Structure 1
Amino acid sequence: MESAIFLDRDGVINEVLTSRVKYVNKPRDFFLLDGVGEAIRLLNEKGLKVFVVTNQGGVGLGYMREKTLIEVHQRMKDDLAEFGARIDDVAYCPHKPYEGCACRKPGPKMLVDLAEKHNVDLKRSYMVGDRDPDIEAGKAAGTKTVLVGTREKVTSKADYIFPDLLAFSKWLVQGTTILD
């Protein structure tokens, strides 16, 4: 079984709630955060699977169509490719917040489903997020958890804390920890 890095999207990979963009409802609203292309490339070079797991309640609420969300994810992949980086798969929850679906974080379903699909050992993997639901989903799935950024006050106890995805990626690939 392989190790993987599960990444939340908004606030970990791309800007959200900034002066340039409030929410990412169209491909033109998608902007990579500084260092993310290099960070994901480092993870790829380490031989790790990299997945995106993202709640996208804007679909269920009618702010965007699922087709547009897929276009946003293609923009993300295209932007990352400019850095020689790739995402191996994307899972998203299109349901409204508080709809009670099984896939929405803090539930672990998106992580578990990707792990089964790609033969990933969750105990040897990491969930990286910037909010409590991300950390809680990682813990529920059995991954190590990493909090990045300072977008909001987080009460969940992540296993590791880094200022951004690049700092985590450098730490991981430099052998500061092993994936056993």
Structure 2
Amino acid sequence: MSKKIVFLDRDGVINKEVGYLHKIEDFEFINGVFDACVYFQSLGYQLIVVTNQSGIERGYYSEDDFHTVNNWMLKQFKNQGVDILDVFFCPHGPGSNCDCRKPKPGMFNQADDKYSIDMENSWMIGDKEADVQAANAAGIQNTVLVKSGHTIDETNSKSLFILDSIEYVKTAIKN
């Protein structure tokens, strides 16, 4: 049976955007993220993080730095009763020809290959139009953009919902 997933971007959705986050002491969770994730789980969704991390290719931090912060983040979720199924990340810069950097759907396709995902009934929550484009390209039409990260051009967005932050997502995602 295929899984229903809520895909989450990291920076700007899970944590406050600080620009090339790579230190635990700079990681600050966005209000309501744990409650929202518990809510998604109560509806039968599993959670996967998909995040562009171009700071790795740019040399701002190492892949080990990313994994250190990521493992700490996953532990904080676990402590709040939230199980993150997996984290997919793209270490490449904007000029890369990779297929994993959003707005390309590579991370979603990797997740689908690994977990057999029901893309039609899954969701993507991001803070950039690239998140929506990547989700749409992977067959996910259920999208939410949150204003807690980057500025959003609401008039030209293809997102189904635009909300102030993940704290308000219960108004969009229902069973």
TM beyond 0.5: yes
Q: Does the 8 A contact of 2:20 with 2:55 survive in 1?
A: no
Identity across the alignment (%): 36
Q: Secondary structure at the match of 1:88?
A: strand
Deviation at 1:153, TM superposition (A): 2.7
Instruction: Give the TM-score, by structure 2 length.
Output: 0.90
Deviation at 1:50, TM superposition (A): 0.4
Deviations 1:93-134 (A, max 9, x none): 001221121110000110111022111111111111011110
Matches within 5 A, 1:4-153: 4-17=5-18, 22-143=19-140, 144-150=142-148, 151-153=150-152
**1:161 aligns to 2:162 (yes or no):** yes
Deviation at 1:160, TM superposition (A): 1.7
CA distance in 2, matches of 1:125, 1:89: 15
Deviation at 1:75, TM superposition (A): 1.4
RMSD between aligned alpha carbons?
Answer: 1.5
CA distance in 1, matches of 2:31, 2:20: 18
Gaps of 5+ in 2: none
Q: How many pairs were matched up?
A: 170
After superposing on structure 2, the runs of 4+ consecutive aligned residues of structure 1 that deviate more than 6 Å are: none
CA distance in 2, matches of 1:128, 1:153: 13
Deviations 1:32-83 (A, max 9, x none): 1111011111112222110000000000011111011011111111222232
Gaps of 5+ in 1: none
Q: Does the 8 A contact of 1:136 with 1:156 survive in 2?
A: no
Deviations 1:10-32 (A, max 9, x none): 00000113xxxx43122222111
Q: Does the 8 A contact of 2:161 with 2:172 survive in 1?
A: no
